[in-house]
Each structure stands twice: as structure tokens, then as C-alpha cells.
Structure 1
């Protein structure tokens, strides 16, 4: 901390000296002013060429980044609504890129074409109602289209059809982990309140509510593929955010209130593991781990485990010191495998019986 403060003090002192020198230059008489600091035609021409050079470098770096970093994109969405989200995102990116390429190209071209030259005088152009209308109405139409498209997409995602008999699952967040509470055979969650948290009742389920007796509380989230799921979110302490990157879903988890989100898983964990994208990614990761393990073994430490893909629920809000480790494994499986797993779990009433 001391070193950091010393660096700040030195930097501020340098800025102060620089500002004082500028004030001194401004206070000098016109006869004493160094005319070499005044831009001439040669300077303007040099700056114009540098501007064009920077534009070429800028576009080259941009296209290289798109090409080289595309491998870090997420794979295809693992939920039915995910493709709609991806489509909306790519349409937005395309529109932004078109506008960015045109405006930046014009900016750098104008800086070159209309560079300062001796004898040239800038044209005073007061206004043009037609041009102002065009560059106002086009963004309005484009933005309105994106917003309306986004609202319809959001409405389709949030308004889950009750006729589909969606499964109800509560996701309970606390520093720094998640718990899942399944609604049991009656598909209705029992009431809960943080005031009821005591002993093994870590989620504060109301023991007097009969709907809570068949609830199942787990540390892993198992979901049957093709089954609509409504998630109810609660937080015990601070603001969290439930983030399902592969399912293109995210919802804030707010203390004192219940938020909700829903989606239908469309790709099982095993299917995603066997996809071409994930096979290549896992292979690359394991090659890196193998190289790092050689060094660890040489130092007498335990080598890294072999990586295997899994879906995860993450927290996307910086909620405290161990925020980075707040995650829950998600397993998307067939209905038969899900039923078999659920049959092995204890209900809330069974867990509370010894109490």
C-alpha cells in the first residue's frame, strides 16, 4: 500500500509540473512563442496519413479478434428459447457492426480528406432539415424494432404455458452456495421463510405447511430433458444472480422477494459432451492440464484431474469473498434417469423426522 501511495504522489507531482509549464507557456508574449508548435501543412498531412494508418490497424485488429476469438463463443443453446436469444444477440451485433464500420470509416476518411491546408477555408453549413430527419428517424426505427423484437422474445420466455404442466423448482442462494428445492409429487412448493431456518432446515421451509412435506432439497440440480421448468429464486443474505450460460438464462436473486424464470432444457449433458464443439474444447483443456501437471509432479504436488464437461449454475453478482466459487452442478438427463435419481432422494418430511 505504501508503494502504491508513493507512485500516486509521484504521478500527481509530475502532472503538477506539466500543468505549470503549460501555464508558463500561455503567459509568454507572442514574440516569445515557439512557432514550431503551430501545425503547418506538413504536420497536418502527416497526421492525416497516421489517421488512415490507424484506421487500417483498427479494422485489422477488429476482424482478427472476431476470427481468432470466436473459439471462445458458447456452444449452441441448451434450451428451447436459447436460439431466440442468440438470434436477437447476433442481429444486434450485425447492426452495431454495420453502423460502426460506416461511421468509423467516414470519420477517418474525413480527417484525411479535409485535413488543414494553407489557403483552405471551411464551409459554414448551418443546417439541413432533410439530413437531420434521416439520421434521426433511422436510429429510431432500428432501435424500436430491436426493442419490440426483444419484448416479444422476453414475453415468450417468461410467460410459460401452464397447460404444459411445468415442473416447479426453487433455487435458494446464500453466501456462497446454492440449494435446489423440488416441489415433489404435488408440484407445489411449501411455504418458506428465513425465520424458520434452524438445524437441518437450512432453507427455512414451513413445517406446518403440508405442501412442503414432499419437497426435496438437493445440492445438485437434475433436470429432465424436454420438460418445462419454472424456477423460483430466493436469497438468504445479499443480492445474487442465477446465471445459466449454456441455457441463455439469468435472473437476479433478491433478498426479501421471490423472482422467477423458466426454460425447457433441450440438450442432455451426455449429448453436449459428445458434440464436436465440446469434444475439441475438452481435448484442448486436458492437453493444457497435462502440461501443467508435469510441472506439478516435478514439484512433488498432486497432478490436475482430467476435465469433463458439466453444466453449471453460477452466481453473476459479486456477492462476497468466495463469489467465484458459488456454483451448482446441473445434470440434464432423460425422464427415466431423472425419475430414478429423484426416487433416491429424501423428502423434507423424512429429513425432519429425527428432529
Structure 2
């Protein structure tokens, strides 16, 4: 409350000073009250433009120096991820170079062509050559990026069921959780519909149609998504209620889950969970996060001294890296918590785990 009152007082003082300044300006007899900028004003604004240009370049250099080493999500963990990363790096490099050049020209011209008494702006109607240059360069650049992007996207989405023999997995999105259904030995998902969710005393958690033989050997997991390294996975995605988005950042994969239709996305995992944990970027990220948590735990221990057990705060557990399946659409109040752990392991270990799970036929018995 005290801080709020101090803030209010400061605001009132600032308003008072502003009003006094305006009164002082009005009281000056013969003062120049013209609202038209003069040469001095234009010169000051021109130098301020240069100052701001220096500021944005300096702050950019500082950010690169201080935070450039911090990993975001690490190297791609899917075979198509490297191509997607290359496309992103090319796009960002072009944006960065163009931004540096255009910003420098913008503020330089703002200073060079500032208003001066006796100086008249040149009326320059048009120049076909210049217009051609600044039109054709962006056209060629954007066309190159778009074509590169289309070829990359086509390569990602091109799945040959017979040749690739992908593992077929369904991601079933609900507010606010994910359920995973693996095609059984026939590698074919059975039909499913939201109308069947209440069948078998709620055991049919993904709405499998028990009249479809293909669904009887399907396996449902509600605790984690397990994937085999080195084998293509074809995801079929459904939503029970609203628009969700299956986002797996480390695999550079994202696809909307749309009520009433089935969408799909495929990728081949290239790093097991253990291999990803051992990479330099992820190791550094885990180390940085745990250092922050250790500092936070010291504060919590100091806070808990002398406090009753019910008033004490719990300490933070050490962070361990895991792949995650996230929802990347704001789907409701608990959207932030809609995530599922992904475990990538060797195909032999995955097959062993899958063979130990109950099929839909066994669950409903």
C-alpha cells in the first residue's frame, strides 16, 4: 500500500511540474511560441536519430555477447530437422543483414535531409530503374525462400506407406491432456469416434469402435509417448473438443488437431532421449537451469526458517531434460499444462515395451 501511495504522489508531482512549466512558457513575453520546428529543432532531432541508431546497434551487440551462447531447444532430434533449421538460419541471416542496412539508411537519411531554412526538398517523381531494382531483388529473394520452403515441406510430408513402413501413432487431444494410441500388429489404427468414449465403463478413453477388427490390437498410453529411434513415425491427430496443436519442438514438428477431421505429420527420430541429454547444448541448458534452482532453493530455505510447516515453501527438484509434446494453441484455462513426456529409445527397446502393453481387446475384457 505504501508503494502505491508513493507512486501516486510521484505522478501528481510530475503533473504539477508539467503544469508549472506550461505556465512559465505562457508568461514569457515575446517568446517564440510557434509550433513549427526551426533549424535548431531539426538538427537536434537529426542527431537524436543517429543516437537511436547507435543505441539499437549497441543493444543488439550486447544481447548477442551476453545471451547468444544460451541454447533454446538444442539441435534437431529428427532427420528432417536439419533441413528445417537450415531454412530458418538462412531466413534469419537475410532478415538480420537487411535490417542492419535499412536501419542505417533510414536514420542517415532522416539526418541528411532534415529541414533547413532556405533548403527546398527535391521533388523526385519516379525512376523506373530504381523501382525495378528494389522490386526485383525482394521478388527473387522471397521466391527463392518460398521455393526452398515448399520443397522442404513436401519432403517432410511425403510419406509412402509401403516403402517407408512407418509406425502409425494417433495423438488424441482433449482439454487438457494427450492420449496416445499405437496401431497394433497390423499397423492399422481402428476406427474411432467420440460417441464411444463412455463405452466399457469409461475404459475406451480414445473412443475406439469395437466393431472394427483393426482396433482390437491397438495400444493406448496416457502417461507418455514412446518412439523408436531410426524408424519413421506417422502421426494421425484428432481433437475431442476444441482446436489444439501438437507441437514437438525438438523434432521440429507441429500440426493442428482439428475437431471433426484427422490431420497427420511424420518424422523419423534421430536421437534417443539419453543421446540428446548428452549433447553440449542440452547439458549446458540443464546446468544453467539447475544453477538457478539451487539459488532459488537457498532463498526458500532462508524463508522457511522459523515458519510453521504449513507456511513453508517446497524446494525445487533438480531439472532433468525430457522431450515434450505440447499444445501450441490457446485451448482453455489449463492450456499451459497440456503436455506429455516423450521417450525416444532404440527400436528393440521400444518393441519390447510395446509388446508388454495391454491391447484394447485385453482392456475391455
TM-score w.r.t. the length of structure 1 is 0.88
Which residue among 269, 272, 288 is the counterpart of 1:268?
272
Matched, 1:254 2:258: yes
Verify the 8 A CA contact 2:87 2:149 in the aligned structure 1.
yes
Query: How far apart in 2 are the matches of 1:124 and 1:283?
Result: 61
Query: How far apart in 2 are the matches of 1:149 and 1:193?
Result: 38
Alignment of 1:1-355 (within 5 A): 34-70=32-68, 71-162=70-161, 163-198=163-198, 199-219=202-222, 220-298=224-302, 299=304, 300-353=312-365
Describe the superposition over 1:74-101 as per-residue Cα deviations: whole angstroms up to 9, x where unpaired.
2110000001111111111111112211
Query: How far apart in 2 are the matches of 1:166 and 1:33?
Result: 82
- Aligned-residue CA RMSD (Å): 2.1
User: Who is 1:25 aligned against?
Assistant: none
User: Who is 1:26 aligned against?
Assistant: none
Verify the 8 A CA contact 2:73 2:282 in the aligned structure 1.
no
Describe the superposition over 1:157-215 as per-residue Cα deviations: whole angstroms up to 9, x where unpaired.
00023302110000000000001000011100000000111111011100011100110
Shift of 1:291: 2.0
Query: How far apart in 2 are the matches of 1:277 and 1:82?
Result: 16
Structure 2: where are the runs of 5+ without partners? 23-29, 305-311
TM-score w.r.t. the length of structure 2 is 0.86
Shift of 1:321: 0.6
Query: How far apart in 2 are the matches of 1:72 and 1:278?
Result: 7
Verify the 8 A CA contact 2:71 2:285 in the aligned structure 1.
no
Shift of 1:289: 1.4
Query: How far apart in 1 are the matches of 2:291 and 2:350?
Result: 33
User: Who is 2:27 aligned against?
Assistant: none
Query: How far apart in 1 are the matches of 2:206 and 2:254?
Result: 22
Verify the 8 A CA contact 2:236 2:264 in the aligned structure 1.
yes
User: Who is 2:26 aligned against?
Assistant: none
Query: How far apart in 2 are the matches of 1:147 and 1:276?
Result: 32
Query: How far apart in 2 are the matches of 1:66 and 1:194?
Result: 50
Shift of 1:251: 0.3
Verify the 8 A CA contact 2:209 2:215 in the aligned structure 1.
yes
Query: How far apart in 1 are the matches of 2:262 and 2:67?
Result: 38
Verify the 8 A CA contact 2:46 2:111 in the aligned structure 1.
yes
Structure 1: where are the runs of 5+ without partners? 22-31
Shift of 1:122: 1.0
| Greater Cα offset, 116-125 or 249-258 | 116-125
